[in-house]
């Protein structure tokens, strides 16, 4: 894959921290121009200071349809009018007992984690269709496949991403666009940090045949592969990055 990304444009949502930041840094290191989307303006400034001229920070709330339809096409135009890879990574975590989830909590998690994926695909796919090629990679979770008590709204949002990925792959494939998603397991990022205890981390680690949790670099590596020419036969897939905790 050496040199494959030179001159390519990669759009990453939720790029200011965590998995999104790791993905942005990985693609940037290999020569891509990064359109970094996040609503955290300060986080984007820090990332831009670190990565320099090939990082184009754009403050957009991806759950806002109008903001996406205005901000993302403008960012693509400013980057030269093309986007080769889109990584829908923006997300929030939600934790509450099933019977206590409020309509506002449900709507917030579903809007950020699932509805935003639709909005961003609608913004980038026309550019890819005109080019006759593209890669769209959506961030789901192993919660989409197994769920966890207390996380019904989070699991539902990520299952929606898996289903949306399949349909998008069917509809966009004839235009040369591959659409896949990644289902990480337990990755110790800032998101949801207040829900963890040392005992939970130890139990999660013991649940993996590999005996370790996943890192942001692990996830970024799989995303990078899905964006490569080597992954051209793959579309509509939901790839686990769980250390074997989920095998289906």
Average pLDDT of each block of 10 consecutive residues along the chain (248 residues)? 85 97 97 97 96 94 98 96 98 96 98 98 98 98 95 98 98 98 88 70 88 93 97 98 93
The pLDDT of residue 53? 85
* CATH number of the structural domain spanning residue 197: 3.40.50.720
pTM of the model: 0.95
Residue 40 domain-assigned? yes
Biggest alpha carbon distance in the chain? 51
154 is catalytic: yes
156 Cα distance to chain centroid: 16
Residue 247 resides in a domain: no
Domain extent at residue 153: 9-240
Q: Residue 1: inside a domain, yes or no?
A: no
Q: Residue 15 falls within a domain, yes or no?
A: yes
> What's residue 46's pLDDT?
96
Q: Residue 194 has what pLDDT? A: 57
Catalytic residue among 27, 93, 119, 154: 154
pLDDT at 200: 82
Per-residue pLDDT at 111: 98
Tell me if 143 is assigned to some domain: yes
- At residue 2, the pLDDT reads 59
Judge whether 219 lies within some domain: yes
Structurally, the chain folds into a number of domains equal to: 1
CA distances (Å), 127 to each of 55, 60, 82, 178, 226, in order? 20, 19, 6, 14, 19
Tell me if 2 is assigned to some domain.
no
């Amino acid at each position: 894959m050496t040199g494959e990304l030179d001159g390519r444009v990669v759009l990453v949502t939720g790029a200011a921290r965590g998995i999104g930041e790791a993905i942005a840094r990985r693609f940037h290191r290999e020569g891509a121009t990064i359109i970094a989307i996040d609503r955290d303006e300060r986080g984007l400034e820090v990332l831009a200071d670190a990565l320099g001229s090939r990082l184009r920070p754009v403050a957009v709330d991806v759950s806002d349809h109008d903001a996406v339809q205005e901000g993302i096409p403008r960012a693509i135009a400013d980057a030269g009018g093309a986007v080769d890879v889109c990584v829908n990574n923006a997300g929030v975590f939600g934790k509450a007992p099933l019977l206590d989830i409020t309509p506002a909590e449900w709507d917030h998690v579903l809007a950020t984690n699932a509805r935003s994926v639709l909005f961003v695909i609608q913004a980038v796919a026309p550019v890819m269709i005109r080019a006759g090629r593209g890669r769209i990679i959506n961030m789901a979770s192993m919660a989409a496949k197994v769920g966890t008590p207390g996380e019904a709204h989070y699991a539902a949002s990520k299952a929606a991403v898996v289903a949306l990925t399949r349909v998008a792959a069917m509809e966009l494939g004839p235009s040369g666009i591959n659409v896949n998603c990644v289902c990480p397991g337990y990755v110790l990022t800032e998101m949801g940090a207040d829900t963890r205890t040392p005992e939970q981390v130890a139990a999660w680690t013991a649940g993996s045949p590999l005996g370790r949790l996943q890192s942001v670099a692990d996830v970024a590596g799989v995303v990078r592969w899905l964006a490569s020419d080597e992954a051209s036969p793959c579309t509509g897939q939901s790839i686990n990055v769980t250390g074997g905790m989920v095998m289906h």
